[in-house]
Structure 1
Amino acid sequence: MPIDHDVLPAFALVRFRRTPGAAAEPGVLAGGLVHPLDLAAVGAESLNDVFARWDELEAGVREAATTSAGLPLEDVVLAAPVEPRQLLQTGANYRTHVIDLEVGHLAKDDPRPVEEVRAAAAAMMDDRAAHGEPYFFIGLPATVVGQDEDLVLPASSAAHDWELELAVVVGRPAFRVLREDAMAHVWGWTIVNDITTRDRVFRRDMPAIGTDWYRGKNSPGFNPTGPFAVPRSDAPAPEAFSVRLDVNGETMQDAGTSDLLFDVPALIASASQTLPLLPGDLLLTGSPAGNGQARGIFLRPGDRMTGSISGLGTQRVTCVAEEAR
C-alpha cells in the first residue's frame, strides 16, 4: 500500500529542541502538536523509565497532551526520539534484499553467472527461514541521531548506502524470553536508516575473519532515527508495516514487513538469549531490497532521503560532504 509522506502518527513520543542547538526535551506528539512532557510530574526518571513502566505511566503521559500547551512542529527541532543504551542490528532478514546484495557484492573475477548466484542465495534464504536463526550484530548507540542532523558522508569512501528499517523500541527488560512472550517486551516502534559504507564491510586483508561491521556501519550519524517513537497500541501489527525510502524523489525501497524471514517475536526471543535487552534499546529488524549496492549507485553530497513506515511518520535526511564541515 502506498505511504502518504505527510501523515503524522496520532500519538507518539518525541525529543525536541526549542531552538537549534538547545538541549533536547521529552515531549508528546498529539493532534499534530508537540506537548512538553514533565517527566517528574508523571513519576518517571527518564524517557527510558517511561518505556520500562509504560503500563503504569501511560495514562499520565497521554494526559500531558491535554494539560500542556502544544507547539507547532515547524516551531521545534526534532531530535532522535530515543536514547538507547544498546543498539542491535539484524542482518539478512529480507529474502530479496539478501539475494540482491549477493549479486551486488559479486567479485569481478567470480566465474558464476548472475542467475546462478541469485539461485544459490535464494536457496540459502529459504533454508534459513525453515531451519536457521536470526543473525545479529552490534551497533554503537553514539551513531543514533535525529533528522535535525545532516548525514556527513566520510571522505574515505564513495560507497555509502541506505537501509531503511523498522526498529523495535524495547519496553520491559527482556532476557531469555520465549517467542510467545516476546511482544510483551516491545514498547513500540521507530524508523532507522541504517547507513552502510559498503567497501568497508568485508576485510580484503583478512578474508577469513569476514565482515567488519565497526568500520562499515559506525561512522558518526550513521543511524538517523525517528522522528517519532510510536507505542505498539497506536501502530500497525508487526507484520503489517509498509517500508519505503525515496532518494531525491525516486523510490528505492518499497516493501512490507510480511516479507521478514524472522518476525519480530522471533527476533526478540533470539536476541534476548545472549544479551539482556534494556528499556529504550533499539533492535533493528533488517532492511528490504532496493539498496544502492544492488543498483550500483551510492549516496552523494546533496542527496535527500525520505523514509516512511506506515503509522510511524516520515524521516527526511540530507547528505553533505565531510569536507563541507
Structure 2
Amino acid sequence: MRFLSFHAGDGTTHLGVETDGGIVDLTAAGGADGLPVSATALAAGGPDALDAVRALLETGPPATSVDGLRLAPAVPDPEKIVCVGANYRKHSAEAGLPVPENPIYFAKYRNSLAGHGQAVAIPAATTQVDYEVELVAVIGRPAREVSPSEALDHVFGYATGNDLSARELQTRTSQWMYGKILDGFAPLGPYLVTADEVPDPQQLELRTWVNGAIRQDANTSDMVFDVATLVSDLSQAMTLQPGDLIYTGTPEGVILGTAERIWLRPGDLVECEVGGLGRLSTTLVEG
C-alpha cells in the first residue's frame, strides 16, 4: 500500500492512502475502528492499522486527485532522523573517502523535512548545495538490540529521500552535521510504501535528475552496510521507535564528485526516485 501526508485546508496534516480512484483521506475518517490518522500512528499500528485501512476501503469511501493536494513530508513527525554517510562504495571513491569499517552516522531534525513539490530555499550561509538520492527506511515495531536477521521485521516501509547538503559547511570540521541540518534539506516522499511491496531493499534502482538531466543512476546493491545491518547496529545503541527515519546513504554521481562542481542554484529542479517508491521533486529558490 502507498500512503502520503498532505496539508489540509484547516492547517492540519492529514494521512491519505492511494487507491485506483485517487487519495482517500484517512484522518477525515475520524480514526474509528483503529484507523490511523497520521504516518507515525500508521507505522506504530502495523498489520492491525493496515487491516483497518483495508476495511475502510471496502466501503468505497470518497477519493480525491493527488494533483489537488499540497503534500507534506511522507512522515512529518518522526522522533529521530538518522542519516548514513559514505555508505556506497562508488560514492566513497568519488568523494575521496575510504570505505568505512563501521557505519558513519549523523542526524537531521524535523526542520529539515520537506514534502514533494515543496520549494526549498538556499540560505546565504552556503553556495555549495548538492543533491543525494537515498532510500529511506521507516521503522514500524520498536527495535532494541535486534539481530540483522530480524531487523527488517521492524521496518514498516520505505520512501524516497534527498539528503541535500551544504558542502562547505559539511566539511569545515570533521563533524558533518552543520552542513546537513538546513531548513528543508531533507525532502521525503511523495509516498510511504509498505515493506511488503519492497521484497528486497538491496535491489532498488536510485536515480537523480537536475533540470531533466540524469545525474545519479545506481542500485542499492552497492551499499556497504545494508538496511538490515543499519537497523540492527542502531538498535544496539538506542531504541528505534515507530516513524523513525533512516536515510541510508547516496550512490555515486553527486556534484562533489565532479571536476566542474557546478553547485545547485535557485531555479534548479531536482528529482529523485528509488525503485517504485515514487519520484520526489524539489525546486531550489533563493533564500
TM-score between the two structures when normalised by the length of structure 2 = 0.92
CA distance in structure 2 between the aligned counterparts of 1:69 and 1:235, rounded to whole angstroms: 28
Matched-pair identity in %: 32
- Of 309, 315, 319, the residue aligned with 2:280 is 315
Kindly report structure 1 stretches of 4+ aligned residues shifted beyond 6 Å: none
2:10 equivalent to 1:47: no
Which stretch of the first structure deviates more once superposed, 264-273 or 230-239?
Answer: 230-239
Moved more, 46-55 or 187-196: 46-55
The structural deviation recorded for 1:202 is 2.3
Q: Matched residue of 2:233: which SS?
A: helix
Task: Give the structure 1 partner of residue 222 of structure 2.
Answer: 259
Deviating more after overlay: 132-141 vs 238-247: 132-141
Does 1:13 pair with 2:7? Answer: no
Counterpart check, 1:138 vs 2:107: yes
- The equivalent of 1:62 in structure 2 is 54
Name 2:265's counterpart in structure 1.
300
Give the number of aligned pairs. Answer: 280
What amino acid maps onto 2:114 in structure 1? V
CA offsets per residue over residues 168-215 of structure 1, 9 Å max, x none? 000001111111110110001011100100001123xxx5xx1241x2
Instruction: Determine the C-alpha separation between the residues in 2 that align with 1:185 and 1:16.
Output: 25
CA contact (8 A) 1:162 1:194 kept: yes
**Paired amino acid for 2:264:** L
Aligned pairs for 1:146-161 within 5 A: 146-161=115-130
How far apart are residue 39 of structure 1 and its match?
A: 5.4
SS at match of 1:239: coil
2:236 is paired with a residue whose SS is coil
Residues of 2 paired with 1:66 and 1:301: CA distance?
45
Q: Kindly report which structure 2 residues correspond to 1:224-303, keeping only aligned pairs within 5 A, or say none.
A: 224-295=187-258, 296-303=261-268
Pair 1:23 & 2:16 matched: no
Q: Aligned to 1:251, what secondary structure does the other structure show?
A: strand
Matched residues in 1 for 2:85 and 2:109: separation? 16
Shift, 1:65, TM fit: 3.3
Within 1, Cα distance between the matches of 2:30 and 2:89?
A: 42
- Structure with greater helix percent: 1
SS at match of 2:182: coil
For structure 1, which segment, 34-43 or 80-89, has the greater mean C-alpha deviation from structure 2 after superposition?
34-43
Deviation at 1:154, TM superposition (A): 1.1
- The answer (yes or no) to whether the contact 1:42–1:61 under 8 Å persists in 2 is no
Q: Counterpart of 2:171?
A: 202
Task: Find the partner of 2:68 among 70, 75, 82.
Answer: 75
| Alpha-carbon distance between aligned partners in 2 of 1:46 and 1:73, rounded to the nearest angstrom | 17
Could you tell me which runs of 5 or more consecutive residues in structure 1 were left unpaired when the two chains were aligned. 1-10, 103-120
Structure 1 residues 236 and 321: CA distance shift in structure 2, 3 A: farther
The one of 175, 180, 192 aligned to 1:211: 175
Listed as ranges, the matches of 1:88-167 within 5 Å are 88-102=82-96, 121=97, 124-125=98-99, 128=100, 132-167=101-136
Deviation at 1:236, TM superposition (A): 4.3
Q: Is the 8 A contact 1:18 1:75 kept in 2?
A: no
Contact 2:14-2:38 within 8 A present in 1 as well:
no
Offset of residue 248 of structure 1: 0.5
Contact 1:168 / 1:285 at 8 angstroms: preserved in 2? Answer: yes
Aligned partners of 1:61, 1:98: CA distance in 2, in Å?
Answer: 42
Residue 266 of structure 1 and its aligned partner are, at CA, apart by 0.4
Partners of 1:220 and 1:141 lie apart in 2 by: 9
| Structure 2 contact 137–248 (Cα < 8 Å) conserved | yes
Q: Distance in 2 between matches of 1:78 and 1:64?
A: 22
CA distance in 1, matches of 2:254, 2:182: 18
What is the distance in 1 between the residues matched to 2:163 and 2:212? 19
**Partner Cα separation in structure 2 for residue 137 and residue 244 of structure 1:** 23
Specify whether residues 243 and 32 from structure 1 end up closer, same or farther in structure 2 by C-alpha distance, changes over 3 A only.
Answer: farther
Distance 2:257 2:55 in 1: 47
Larger Rg belongs to: 1
